[in-house]
Amino acid sequence: MITIYHNPRCQKSREALALLEERGVEHTTRLYLNDEESMSAAEFEDVLDALDMDAVDLVRKNEAVWKEEYKNLELDEDEIILAMIEHPKLMERPIVVNGHRAVVARPADKLIELL
C-alpha cells in the first residue's frame, strides 16, 4: 500500500496527491501535521530508511523554527528526528512510501518511479 505524507496547504503535496488520484493508485493519506496523525520516532526512522537519507536531509532548513532553534546546534540523528516530531512542518514534503522504498515527490513526477 502506498502512503503519502501530505500537507494540503502545500502545492507540491497537492500535485503529488493529484497524480496518485489521476492514475487510480490506491493509497493512504497521512496528514502528518495533525496531532492525531503525527509520526513517531520509529516511523521517521522507517521513512528515512526507505528514502535512504539522513534526517538532516529531510529538514526544511528555511523554516523559521529551524533557523531560530536548531541551525547553530550540532544535532545527532535522533535529535533531528525529535525536532521534526516536535515541529512536523520541518519535514520536507510530500513523502510517498511504497513498501520499503520512498521518495520526496518534489516534483510530483518523482513518485512515478515508485508506481
Report, as residue numbers or ranges, the catalytic residues.
Answer: 10
Give the whole-angstrom CA distance, residue 32 versus residue 38: 5
The pairing of strands 27-30 and 95-98 is unpaired
Kindly give, in sequence order, each residue whose CB lies less than 8 Å from that of residue 37, ignoring residues fewer than 6 positions away.
30, 31
